[in-house]
Structure 1
């Protein structure tokens, strides 16, 4: 159970998902603080979750024992500038969910030897079904990692990484991954409609099939390749469909797509930190 005050710098979608998950998991609302500059958004967060809300980042930073940095990468520098005087000399765990912002950049912006966990969440966290990749710097303790784990597990599952550069791979798989599945669902739904099914039925069949296949893959001890083969009878309809996908090189296209996303994640990180190393 989390027994520390948790502050959020930024009150966007991912932050509110985490806040909702924490409250639902039993963390007292008055233990959570949020800074959000937009008046309407700040008021909505306060009313929805009953948490303490503030207009200025430093108001949260002065109190929180765990500080979740949930701002867009482009404004992270300004956010760090706004909180650094308030956190100097204090014992705080920093959790960053900003894409592309490296540990070394956070360390430089915060000063001293901050305890940092960098996280790559994904959008299914919005419905409590996310998965996040986490990396801790050398200053973070086992207790810090446990606290970060509890916070991210409020919206899904977690995986820990031994190297920061692997967050680019996580970004390419689970960070961007929902869009790959949405693209596939989009194509299957269009195909279903082309075969004469109405849009509502096509959508239901497509999404429920994807959900069922995912649940089966999670529950099974066999590999997904084995599961695919079990559904594919020689000379049957599934084989006919897979023959088309294989002739169009769809498998390799997915591999190339993930590699392209991983390269772009690295490029974006370098663009944000042109003079810094992107990994520790």
Structure 2
């Protein structure tokens, strides 16, 4: 059996920047174990699998180590593949996933993600987070879901502190949740961030769309504005335009195809 795949750099305007994702458009679902093994073989932050179910595309995302409930950059990459390579009709693609309904719409040369807001609350874990980061933090917040803490957010005093951070990844992996997000006011953008998730096989994610569903409402309240410019200052880097719309967050970016091929599986 052969499966067609496409590698796309999301939140990027040129190859080898932004965040790479692998995308599979399937006719039917594969076994969960097989999808996890495929994601581990590609060894990218996320591999996305899509199957058409009714009018929407059901989408699932796997890191090299685990399935995750929400992923922005791989959704952007998947919409790019559907629009540009498979000629998906219309201007909006509907997705369903573990986190509910998602949409991606064309807007000029950008694609706009329409994702659910993910509110954070103060969380008493400052000492452990400071030890993992090796520097003081101003505040620690957490995204809580039914399973408990889903993500941690640490607010740092400056963009320089975010860029200079060299966390103890083993200590980060021991913290609750999938990963640790750090953020601060930006020098040329409204805010900057970085994201570390070694517990699920991602030491540092280059550009993370889903975390901006937490960052956008937080910084919208702090800065008193609904439309914000963001930059994830990883080694590859990525620029995002974020807007708060009630209980939804819209995140705009571009994408670039860098490779296509076929995966060969035993019959």
Greater gyration radius: 1
Task: State the TM-score, normalizing by the size of structure 2.
Answer: 0.23
Task: State the TM-score, normalizing by the size of structure 1.
Answer: 0.22
Higher relative contact order (CA 8 A, sep 6+): 2
